[in-house]
């Protein structure tokens, strides 16, 4: 993807997942960056940072990069649904 090119959240570039090199099977990402988490929840980037600050979403830092575990998003949605 070229710098400055915007990709719709439902475009193939955003819906494909990495391939496992050894088995050729598709695997779901374990960690999401803030923009991917925002696209997944259909909210803005600022909302993701607010959810992190309120302790609603877990964040993992790899160096200076913030990543949100996919399991944290699942828990958040379950909490919203009252489960």
Tens digits of residue pLDDT in 24-47? 677 788 999 999 999 999 999 999
12 inside domain: no
Mean pLDDT across the chain:
82
21 inside domain: no
For residues 13-30, average pLDDT = 65
57 inside domain: yes
Q: What is the residue range of 54's domain?
A: 28-80
- Does position 74 have pLDDT exceeding 90, yes or no? yes
Give SS3 for 3.
Answer: coil
Q: In angstroms, rounded to a whole number, what is the distance separating the alpha carbons of residues 46 and 34? A: 9
């Amino acid at each position: 993807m070229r710098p400055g090119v915007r990709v719709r959240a439902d475009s193939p570039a955003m819906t494909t997942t990495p391939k496992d090199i050894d088995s050729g099977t598709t695997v779901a990402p374990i960690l999401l960056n803030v923009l991917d988490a925002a696209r997944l929840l259909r909210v803005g980037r600022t909302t993701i940072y607010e959810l992190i600050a309120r302790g609603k979403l877990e964040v993992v830092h790899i160096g200076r990069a913030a990543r949100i575990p996919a399991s944290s998003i699942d828990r958040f949605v379950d909490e919203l649904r009252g489960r």
